[in-house]
Amino acid sequence: EDKVVQSPLSLVVHEGDTVTLNCSYEVTNFRSLLWYKQEKKAPTFLFMLTSSGIEKKSGRLSSILDKKELFSILNITATQTGDSAIYLCAVGGREGNMLTFGGGTRLMVKP
């Protein structure tokens, strides 16, 4: 059974801090790893990492994928209160377009 574990469960930082969120996985026939941000509504897509793209960057957010050690990290630099959200990691594997989601990391950024 595919498995995705995220850590830490929750994190409280102050504006300007840098945070690192972790995602480890066990999945059959790995195809991709996705990061989503969830505020009060539905998850919104941040990054997709695959065998052909193991590092992504967008503004203050960046992510890397280590296929050998089976993990990914999401870095957020110079955090802002608007970064407060639940960050979800999901892995695509076994069949179809199914994603297996981790439990999420709840990030709170204080002013």
Partner 1 sequence: DAGVIQSPRHEVTEMGQEVTLRCKPISGHDYLFWYRQTMMRGLELLIYFNNNVPIDDSGMPEDRFSAKMPNASFSTLKIQPSEPRDSAVYFCASSLWDYNNEQFFGPGTRLTVL
Q: Is 8 in the site for partner 1 (CB under 8 A)?
A: no
Q: What's the number of CA atoms in the CB half-sphere (13 Å) around residue 32?
A: 14
Of residues 42 and 68, the one with the C-beta less far from partner 1: 42
Q: How many residues bind partner 1 (CB under 8 A)?
A: 23
Give the closest residue to 61 by CA, choosing from 38, 39, 37: 37
Six-digit token string for 14 = 């102050």
Q: Is 28 in the site for partner 1 (CB under 8 A)?
A: no
Q: How far is CA 78 from CA 14, 18, 101, in A?
A: 9, 6, 27
Nearest approach in angstroms of CB 103 to partner 1 is 4
Residues that bind partner 1 (CB under 8 A): 31-32, 34, 41-45, 48, 50, 88, 90, 92, 95-104
